[in-house]
Structure 1
Protein backbone atom coordinates (compact mmCIF):
# COMPACT_ATOMS: atom_id res chain seq x y z
CA UNK A 1 0.00 0.00 0.00
CA UNK A 2 1.18 3.48 -0.79
CA UNK A 3 -0.02 7.04 -0.47
CA UNK A 4 -1.07 9.48 -3.16
CA UNK A 5 -1.16 13.24 -2.60
CA UNK A 6 -3.60 15.27 -4.66
CA UNK A 7 -2.65 18.91 -5.15
CA UNK A 8 -5.00 21.71 -6.16
CA UNK A 9 -4.68 21.75 -9.95
CA UNK A 10 -4.41 24.83 -12.13
CA UNK A 11 -8.10 25.69 -12.43
CA UNK A 12 -7.86 28.57 -14.88
CA UNK A 13 -5.59 30.90 -16.75
CA UNK A 14 -3.95 33.38 -14.41
CA UNK A 15 -5.57 31.93 -11.27
CA UNK A 16 -3.13 31.62 -8.33
CA UNK A 17 -5.56 30.43 -5.65
CA UNK A 18 -9.10 29.23 -5.07
CA UNK A 19 -11.55 29.11 -2.16
CA UNK A 20 -12.65 25.67 -0.95
CA UNK A 21 -16.44 25.81 -0.99
CA UNK A 22 -17.45 22.17 -0.50
CA UNK A 23 -16.02 18.76 0.41
CA UNK A 24 -17.77 15.81 -1.24
CA UNK A 25 -15.77 13.29 0.85
CA UNK A 26 -14.62 12.78 4.43
CA UNK A 27 -11.70 10.97 6.08
CA UNK A 28 -12.17 7.21 5.79
CA UNK A 29 -14.24 7.35 2.58
CA UNK A 30 -13.30 4.98 -0.23
CA UNK A 31 -13.21 6.76 -3.60
CA UNK A 32 -12.87 5.62 -7.19
CA UNK A 33 -11.05 7.36 -9.99
CA UNK A 34 -13.05 10.42 -11.15
CA UNK A 35 -15.03 10.67 -7.88
CA UNK A 36 -15.56 14.37 -7.13
CA UNK A 37 -13.56 15.21 -3.99
CA UNK A 38 -14.21 18.91 -3.57
CA UNK A 39 -15.47 22.09 -5.19
CA UNK A 40 -13.38 25.24 -5.31
CA UNK A 41 -14.36 28.72 -6.41
CA UNK A 42 -12.20 31.22 -8.25
CA UNK A 43 -13.16 34.74 -9.23
CA UNK A 44 -14.34 33.24 -12.54
CA UNK A 45 -16.02 29.89 -11.81
CA UNK A 46 -16.72 27.03 -9.42
CA UNK A 47 -14.69 23.95 -10.34
CA UNK A 48 -15.04 20.34 -9.14
CA UNK A 49 -11.82 18.49 -8.26
CA UNK A 50 -11.93 14.76 -9.18
CA UNK A 51 -9.74 11.99 -7.81
CA UNK A 52 -7.15 10.74 -10.31
CA UNK A 53 -6.95 7.33 -8.55
CA UNK A 54 -8.90 4.83 -6.43
CA UNK A 55 -8.16 4.93 -2.70
CA UNK A 56 -9.15 5.72 0.89
CA UNK A 57 -9.20 9.31 2.15
CA UNK A 58 -6.54 9.72 4.87
CA UNK A 59 -6.31 13.51 5.17
CA UNK A 60 -8.09 16.65 3.98
CA UNK A 61 -5.82 19.66 3.68
CA UNK A 62 -8.23 22.57 4.05
CA UNK A 63 -11.45 23.68 5.72
CA UNK A 64 -14.46 25.05 3.86
CA UNK A 65 -13.86 28.76 3.30
CA UNK A 66 -10.05 28.42 3.21
CA UNK A 67 -8.13 29.99 0.35
CA UNK A 68 -5.79 27.40 -1.17
CA UNK A 69 -2.84 28.13 -3.47
CA UNK A 70 -2.60 26.27 -6.77
CA UNK A 71 -0.25 23.30 -6.28
CA UNK A 72 -0.94 22.96 -2.54
CA UNK A 73 -1.74 19.47 -1.21
CA UNK A 74 -5.47 19.14 -0.54
CA UNK A 75 -6.05 15.37 -0.15
CA UNK A 76 -3.96 12.36 0.87
CA UNK A 77 -5.17 8.90 -0.17
CA UNK A 78 -4.09 5.37 0.75
CA UNK A 79 -3.78 3.51 -2.56
CA UNK A 80 -2.86 0.06 -3.85
CA UNK A 81 0.71 0.02 -5.15
CA UNK A 82 3.34 2.65 -4.50
CA UNK A 83 1.38 5.88 -4.86
CA UNK A 84 3.19 9.15 -5.56
CA UNK A 85 4.67 9.88 -2.11
CA UNK A 86 8.40 9.26 -1.92
CA UNK A 87 9.43 7.79 1.43
CA UNK A 88 12.16 9.60 3.33
CA UNK A 89 15.09 7.19 3.15
CA UNK A 90 17.43 9.24 5.33
CA UNK A 91 18.50 7.75 8.63
CA UNK A 92 17.09 9.56 11.64
CA UNK A 93 19.55 11.98 13.16
CA UNK A 94 20.70 11.27 16.69
CA UNK A 95 21.37 14.24 18.92
CA UNK A 96 23.18 14.19 22.23
CA UNK A 97 21.27 15.41 25.25
Structure 2
Protein backbone atom coordinates (compact mmCIF):
# COMPACT_ATOMS: atom_id res chain seq x y z
CA UNK A 1 0.00 0.00 0.00
CA UNK A 2 1.34 3.42 -0.90
CA UNK A 3 1.81 6.11 1.71
CA UNK A 4 -0.88 8.20 0.03
CA UNK A 5 -3.38 5.33 0.07
CA UNK A 6 -2.57 4.58 3.70
CA UNK A 7 -3.07 8.23 4.65
CA UNK A 8 -6.38 8.38 2.79
CA UNK A 9 -7.56 5.24 4.55
CA UNK A 10 -6.49 6.61 7.94
CA UNK A 11 -8.29 9.90 7.37
CA UNK A 12 -11.48 8.08 6.36
CA UNK A 13 -11.24 5.98 9.52
CA UNK A 14 -10.79 9.09 11.67
CA UNK A 15 -13.72 10.78 9.94
CA UNK A 16 -16.00 7.78 10.52
CA UNK A 17 -14.98 7.66 14.20
CA UNK A 18 -15.63 11.39 14.58
CA UNK A 19 -19.06 11.02 12.95
CA UNK A 20 -19.95 8.28 15.45
CA UNK A 21 -18.69 10.38 18.36
CA UNK A 22 -20.67 13.40 17.20
CA UNK A 23 -23.81 11.27 17.35
CA UNK A 24 -23.18 10.47 21.03
CA UNK A 25 -24.18 12.70 23.93
CA UNK A 26 -21.19 14.75 25.12
CA UNK A 27 -21.06 13.00 28.48
CA UNK A 28 -20.51 9.63 26.75
CA UNK A 29 -17.57 10.70 24.58
CA UNK A 30 -14.71 10.83 27.11
CA UNK A 31 -14.30 7.05 27.35
CA UNK A 32 -14.02 6.91 23.54
CA UNK A 33 -11.40 9.66 23.53
CA UNK A 34 -9.48 7.69 26.17
CA UNK A 35 -9.51 4.61 23.93
CA UNK A 36 -8.26 6.67 20.99
CA UNK A 37 -5.48 8.06 23.20
CA UNK A 38 -4.43 4.61 24.42
CA UNK A 39 -4.42 2.98 20.98
CA UNK A 40 -2.60 5.91 19.36
CA UNK A 41 0.00 5.96 22.13
CA UNK A 42 0.62 2.23 21.77
CA UNK A 43 0.91 2.58 17.98
CA UNK A 44 3.35 5.48 18.31
CA UNK A 45 5.52 3.51 20.72
CA UNK A 46 5.34 0.50 18.41
CA UNK A 47 6.87 2.54 15.58
CA UNK A 48 9.71 3.68 17.82
CA UNK A 49 8.60 6.87 19.53
CA UNK A 50 9.69 7.33 23.13
CA UNK A 51 6.88 6.98 25.69
CA UNK A 52 6.89 10.75 26.27
CA UNK A 53 6.75 11.56 22.55
CA UNK A 54 4.09 8.87 22.01
CA UNK A 55 1.93 10.45 24.71
CA UNK A 56 2.23 13.84 22.99
CA UNK A 57 1.34 12.28 19.64
CA UNK A 58 -1.69 10.55 21.18
CA UNK A 59 -2.87 13.77 22.83
CA UNK A 60 -2.51 15.60 19.51
CA UNK A 61 -4.62 12.93 17.82
CA UNK A 62 -7.35 13.19 20.46
CA UNK A 63 -7.42 16.97 20.09
CA UNK A 64 -7.67 16.57 16.31
CA UNK A 65 -10.62 14.18 16.69
CA UNK A 66 -12.29 16.52 19.22
CA UNK A 67 -11.93 19.41 16.77
CA UNK A 68 -13.32 17.29 13.95
CA UNK A 69 -16.31 16.34 16.12
CA UNK A 70 -16.86 20.04 16.80
CA UNK A 71 -16.76 20.80 13.08
CA UNK A 72 -19.24 18.01 12.41
CA UNK A 73 -21.56 19.33 15.12
CA UNK A 74 -21.40 22.83 13.69
CA UNK A 75 -21.84 21.46 10.18
CA UNK A 76 -25.13 20.56 8.69
CA UNK A 77 -23.92 21.70 5.28
CA UNK A 78 -24.25 19.75 2.04
CA UNK A 79 -22.63 16.62 3.49
CA UNK A 80 -24.93 16.48 6.53
CA UNK A 81 -26.55 13.06 6.78
CA UNK A 82 -24.44 11.48 4.05
CA UNK A 83 -23.28 7.91 4.54
CA UNK A 84 -19.73 8.26 5.95
CA UNK A 85 -18.58 5.05 4.25
CA UNK A 86 -18.97 6.72 0.87
CA UNK A 87 -16.31 8.94 -0.62
CA UNK A 88 -17.23 12.60 -0.94
CA UNK A 89 -18.11 13.76 -4.46
CA UNK A 90 -15.16 15.13 -6.41
CA UNK A 91 -15.41 18.80 -7.34
CA UNK A 92 -13.97 19.76 -10.68
CA UNK A 93 -12.88 23.34 -11.05
CA UNK A 94 -12.65 25.09 -14.38
CA UNK A 95 -15.54 23.18 -15.92
CA UNK A 96 -19.20 23.79 -16.65
CA UNK A 97 -20.36 23.61 -13.04
CA UNK A 98 -18.79 26.90 -11.95
CA UNK A 99 -19.49 28.85 -15.13
CA UNK A 100 -16.00 28.91 -16.59
CA UNK A 101 -14.73 27.19 -19.67
CA UNK A 102 -11.77 24.82 -19.59
CA UNK A 103 -9.12 25.62 -22.18
TM-score (normalizing by structure 2): 0.23
* Highest RCO, 1 vs 2 (Cα 8 Å, sep ≥ 6): 1
Structure with higher strand content: 1
Structure possessing the higher radius of gyration over alpha carbons: 2
- Structure with greater helix percent: 2
